[in-house]
């Protein structure tokens, strides 16, 4: 079933800036590769690194941004975070969020 929740943000500007900085820092430390998808991105994460912060961010976004689909699959060598949306507007926001 399509997730057609509207693309909205309930964070204040300051909260959004802090959350964005946390995403930027986590992805800079953990990401090996970011691959664009038709409906979002797939991010390959280095294996063997602590993923607590990334798990928290995924949980925050899942609670806050109902329009976004997040799937973190952890593995021993690599983990994969897939972030998708069902609308073009959502995909654009995701691409800006991860710097693609």
Asked whether the beta carbons of 35 and 44 are under 8 A apart, the reply is yes
Q: pLDDT at residue 1 above 60?
A: no
The pLDDT of 47-76, averaged and rounded, is 90
Q: Looking at beta carbons, which pairs linking 18-22 to residues 24 or more positions away fall under 8 Å?
A: 19/57, 19/60, 20/97, 22/53, 22/57
Q: What is the pLDDT of residue 49?
A: 80
Q: What is the pLDDT of residue 9?
A: 83
The pLDDT of 82-97, averaged and rounded, is 93
Question: Which residue would you say has higher pLDDT here, 11 or 85?
Answer: 85
Mind giving me the DSSP string for 6-48?
Answer: -----S-HHHHHHHHHHHHHHHHHHEEEEEEETTEEEEEEETT
Q: Give the C-alpha separation, 97 to 94, whole Å.
A: 5
Name the helix (H) or strand (E) containing 62. helix 52-64
* Domain regions of the chain by residue span: 32-98
Q: pLDDT at residue 64 above 90?
A: no
pLDDT (tens digit, 9 = 90+) per residue, 14-52?
998 999 899 999 999 899 999 999 999 999 998 878 889
* Mean pLDDT over each residue of the chain, to the nearest integer: 89
């Amino acid at each position: 079933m399509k997730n057609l929740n509207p693309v909205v943000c309930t964070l204040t500007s300051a909260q959004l800036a802090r959350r964005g900085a946390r995403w930027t820092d986590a992805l800079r430390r953990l990401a090996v590769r970011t691959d664009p998808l038709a409906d979002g991105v797939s991010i390959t994460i280095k294996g063997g690194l602590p993923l607590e912060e990334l798990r928290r961010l995924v949980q925050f976004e899942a609670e806050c941004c109902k329009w976004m689909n997040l799937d973190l699959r952890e593995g021993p060598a690599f983990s994969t975070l897939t972030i998708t949306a069902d609308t073009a507007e959502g995909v654009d926001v995701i691409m800006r969020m991860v710097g693609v």
